[in-house]
Structure 1
Amino acid sequence: MIVPIIGNVFYSITLDPTVWIFDDRKILLNEAFSDQGSNSEEVNDLELASQRFNREVFDVKMNRPPVNRSISKREGETILKNSYVMPLHDFIKNAEIKSDATHATLVSDEDETEISIADLENGYFLFAIDGKPIKENGPVHFFYRDGSNKDNPITTINKIIIH
């Protein structure tokens, strides 16, 4: 259920989609490909960045350990009813792709699909359907940001190789 990012990167990293359900960066699948979703994503990004900054600066200075916000029962029930995608930008940024990299290969059980680095950075991984990890054809499905493959995502991805 893990997806390593390896190859022409400074840092090989391993993605664990099973924990993303609690990540604030997740986006509802039905909002991922609409203009409304991208506008709210920008506002959410600014709010989240502000909250993280305040938490890191003020809590660390006061010698308080950071505390994760707990979710309410209602939020938990909502999470378990929806399907979610995760933007890949932050993960690709953390792997630090080397400047001479030209493309990425999404490796699945049966096939390999080459895509551009830009498409990878701007893409989404579907990681939860009805609030549950994808077991069949999983652990993740890849969607282009424009939704051009919304009806036919790249499935069963278990590795990303940067070339």
Structure 2
Amino acid sequence: MEAIILITGKVNHTVTLDPTLWIFDERRFEMKEYFPDIDGLGMEFAPFLAHAEPQVDADHVVLHQQDGTQIPLSLKAAQQAILQFAEQGKPIGSDGPALFYLNDGSHRNQPIGSIRKVEVK
């Protein structure tokens, strides 16, 4: 299992995310701050997406999962997403390296996992 997630596509900078290092990032937070019934540590996705600098005509993203599944989302939904990178003090296991939660809570019981790439379109 790879421990990285790429942000590619209509961006000015391709970004490589390594969620295993986020434990040292001061921006991390308890998932309970967003979702009271979810344990673990998370990060907002927006700063990483902003660092990639989506091009002005970009309006959505496609999450590419390890099994080849592609999940389209609006750029706005992606900008508001939360990535969970640890659970019970350990990195996310087989569904990792991070679990993708939409901020509206619609995926709180089934977060999007096994993400290998976020393609901005």
TM-score of the superposed pair, with normalisation by structure 1 = 0.68
Shift of 1:98: 0.2
Q: 2:77 aligns with which of 104, 116, 119?
A: 119
Unaligned runs of 5+ in 1: 35-81
Give the aligned partner of residue 33 of structure 2: 31
Root-mean-square deviation (Å): 1.2
Letter in 2 for 1:5: I
CA offset digits 1:17-37 (Å, max 9, x no partner)? 001011111121122236xxx
CA contact (8 A) 1:9 1:162 kept: yes
Partners of 1:150 and 1:27 in 2: CA distance: 17
CA contact (8 A) 1:32 1:85 kept: no
Matched, 1:160 2:118: yes
Instruction: Report the structure number with the largest CA radius of gyration.
Output: 1
Partners of 1:105 and 1:131 in 2: CA distance: 29
Partners of 1:100 and 1:10 in 2: CA distance: 12
Describe the shift of the 1:33–1:146 C-alpha distance in structure 2 as closer, same or farther (beyond 3 A).
farther
Give the aligned partner of residue 89 of structure 1: 46
Matched, 1:14 2:13: no
Partners of 2:31 and 2:24 in 1: CA distance: 15
CA offset digits 1:32-58 (Å, max 9, x no partner)? 236xxxxxxxxxxxxxxxxxxxxxxxx
Unaligned runs of 5+ in 2: none
Give the aligned partner of residue 100 of structure 1: 57
Partners of 2:86 and 2:13 in 1: CA distance: 26
- Pick the structure with more strand per residue: 2
CA contact (8 A) 1:85 1:126 kept: yes
Partners of 2:53 and 2:44 in 1: CA distance: 16
Matched, 1:4 2:6: yes
Identity %: 35
Give the aligned partner of residue 54 of structure 1: none
TM-score of the superposed pair, with normalisation by structure 2 = 0.90
Shift of 1:135: 2.3
Partners of 1:104 and 1:23 in 2: CA distance: 25
Give the aligned partner of residue 130 of structure 1: 88
- Pick the structure with more helix per residue: 1
Runs of 4+ in 1 over 6 A off after TM superposition: none
